[in-house]
Amino acid sequence: MADAPDRSRRFRAPPPASPVVWRFMVAYFDRFLRRRMNALRLARWGLPPDLGPGPVVVYCNHPAWWDAAVIILLAGRLFPERSSYAPFDARMLERYGVFRRMGAFGVDLDTPRGAAQFMAASREILARPASVLWITAQGRFADVRLRPLDLRAGVARLAEIAPDAQFVPLALEYAFWDESGAEACAAFGAPVSGRVLAALPRVERLARLEADLTAILDRLSADVVARDPARFRDLVSGRQGVGGLYDGWRRLAATLRGRRFEPGHRAAVGNPESQLRSQIQPHMQPQSHLPLHTQSQLHTQSQLNAQSQLQSHLQSHLQSHLQSQSQSQPPPEDARR
């Protein structure tokens, strides 16, 4: 009786995405992120390195649902000349089938057969010189502060089948700063060649990859905690401000005062160069010549004024809403008699 065929060998990697589909989907996720986040930021020290013409493996942590959208935008903006691929949970790919057209291939990494499919597809992909294989190497959602990272062993085995590939760590983190939308922050680390990794025992190889990614994550986290946009390069800038009635009121107030409307919270409240300049000029000397303690007092006062205006506006809006509700209700039974 003949042996059963090895189905993992028949598992083929997806073909490269068509340029038209790829550009359309990158534009779609660009708009998607702009509408729902404040910005996609790349650390200035973490720009992608010069990788040469060979294949690349980018392995990253997996903190949130947003990772797929961020990876697509990073690939489209930073590696437009390369073909990108990514393993995808087979069950989730059934729900998000559009990713098949963008180089995603479904695998079940919780079974030996799924692991074999991943290796077979990766071997074929990394034989293509201009390919990039993006891997969320933790294989599950995990908090960015979790240590150790506990990367899946499969990422280390890729060096055995693709010694010519460059392995690049990518750190991802999300945070809320001054705006209603979140900040998506990313940073690339230095590459290491597959040949260098393949020379290490598997345990040490995985430890090396995990140590490199941990170092990039720790450095990125320090910049995220600092909340300083100057440390980052903005790849995508989203919609700022609160929107709706409140921003409409602020826009009208700025127009009546002959000022430019800046919807961002940092510009409206936390930025002395935009808020204080209008308060202290032309009656006082330029802000840069003021003593530091005076600048601090003026900044604090401007924040209190803005908060007071917001509270007054919201209270007035609430009173009007309650008044209209009371007028629309029918009078009590006793009153009608």
What is the per-residue pLDDT across 62-109, written as a single tens digit (0 to 9) for each? 999 999 999 999 999 999 999 999 998 888 888 887 788 888 898 887
pTM score, two decimals? 0.71
Q: Which residue from 67, 218, 206, 43 is spatially nearest to 147, judged by alpha carbons? A: 218
Q: Are residues 171 and 273 in the same domain?
A: no
Query: Do 264 and 226 fall within a single domain?
Result: no
pLDDT at 154 over 90: yes
User: Is pLDDT larger for residue 313 or for residue 193?
Assistant: 193
What sections of 238-291 are H helices per DSSP? 244-256, 265, 272-280
Q: Is residue 186 part of a domain?
A: yes
175, 41 Cβ separation under 8 angstroms: no
pLDDT of 290 > 50? The answer is no
CATH number assigned to the domain comprising residue 223: 3.40.1130.10
Are 248 and 211 in the same domain?
Answer: no
Asked if the structure places residue 121 within a domain, the reply is: yes
- For residue 330, being part of any structural domain is answered with no
Residues 6+ apart with CB under 8 A from 35: 238, 239
Q: pLDDT of 233-289, one tens digit each?
A: 999 997 755 554 555 555 566 566 677 755 555 555 444 444 433 443 444 344 444
Q: Are residues 221 and 264 in the same domain?
A: no
Q: Pairing mode, if any, of strands 192-193 and 166-175? A: antiparallel
Rounded Cα gap, residues 193 and 196, in angstroms: 5
Q: Is residue 2 part of a domain?
A: no
Domain tally, the chain? 2
Last residue of one domain, picked from the residues 237, 256, 275? 237
Chain segment 163-183, per-residue pLDDT in tens: 999 999 999 999 999 998 999
Is residue 27 domain-resident? Answer: yes
In a domain, 286, yes or no: yes
Same domain, 153 and 115: yes
Say yes or no: 114 and 170 in one domain. yes
Mark whether 160 and 288 lie in a shared domain.
no
Annotate 316-325 with b (16+ C-beta within 10 A) or e (fewer).
Answer: eeeeeeeeee
Q: Do 229 and 252 share a structural domain?
A: no
The reply to whether 233 and 263 lie within a common domain is: no
Task: Return the structure tokens found at 259.
Answer: 């000022």
114 and 177 fall within a common domain? yes
Cα separation, 40 vs 237, in Å, equals 7
Tell me: cis bond preceding 282? Omega within 30 of 0 counts.
Answer: yes
Dihedrals phi, psi of 174, to nearest 5 degrees: -125, 140
Residue 194 lies in a domain: yes
The number of CA neighbours under 13 Å toward the Cβ of 138 is 21
Map residue 38 onto helix, strand or coil.
strand
Q: Which residue has the higher pLDDT, 196 or 275?
A: 196
Domain final position from 174, 209, 237 = 237
The range of the structural domain enclosing residue 270 comes to 244-314
Domain presence at residue 337 = no
Do 20 and 115 belong together in one domain? Answer: yes
User: What residues does 135 pair with on adjacent strands?
Assistant: 59
- 6-64 residue pLDDT tens: 444 456 677 777 788 889 999 999 999 999 999 999 999 999 998 888 999 999 999 99
Pair (18, 122) in one structural domain = yes
Tokens 């799924």, residue? Answer: 114
pLDDT of residue 289: 45
- The tokens describing 69, both together, are 């959208």
